[in-house]
Amino acid sequence: MRKINLTEKQLEVSLTEYQKSQDSAEHYDTLFWTCFGIFLTLFSGTLHYIMTKTLNEIEQIRIIYIMIILIILFWPCLEQFRNYRNQKYNRCKKIERILPMNQHLTTENNNQTWWRRKLGSQMEMLRLIMIIILIGLISGLIKIISG
C-alpha cells in the first residue's frame, strides 16, 4: 500500500474531488449512451418510415437531408460527452495515484477482448457505424436524385 503524505483536510478534499469526478464521468457516460440510443431509435424509425411509405422523390430527399444534417450536428455532441467523461476519469486516475486507491488504474488494459484488439475502442466502432450510415444516406440521396 502506498504511503499518503496528506493532511486530514487535503485527504477530505481529494476524496470529495474523486467522488465528484466519478459522478460527473458517470453523468456524461449516461448522456452519451442516452443520446446515442435516441439517435439510433430516430434513425431506425425514419428508415422504417421511408421504406414502408410511398413517398415522392422530394419527400425522400427532404428526409435524407434532415437525417444527414442531424448526424452532422449530433455527432460532435456525442464526441464532447465522451471527451468530458474521459477527462473526469483521468482526474480520478490522478487522484488514485496520490491516494491508496486503484479503481480506475487497474481497468485500463484488462478488458482487451479479441474483437477490441482487432477493431479498436467503442468510439472507433461507433464512428465506423456513423460513417456507414452517412455513406448509406448519401448513396440513397444520389440514387434518388439521379433517377
Strand (E) or helix (H) holding 31: helix 8-52
Strand (E) or helix (H) holding 90: helix 57-98
Q: State the DSSP code for 70.
A: H
State pTM to two decimals.
0.75
State how far the Cα of 32 lies from the Cα of 144, in Å rounded to an integer: 33
The CA-based dihedral angle spanning residues 33, 37, 38, 43, taken in that order and rounded to the nearest 10 degrees: 140
Q: What is the pLDDT along the chain (147 residues), one digit of tens a residue?
A: 556 777 889 888 988 999 999 999 999 999 999 998 998 898 888 888 887 878 888 888 888 888 889 888 888 999 999 999 999 999 998 988 888 777 777 765 555 665 555 656 778 888 888 899 889 888 888 888 887
Q: What are the domain boundaries of the chain?
A: 35-102+122-147
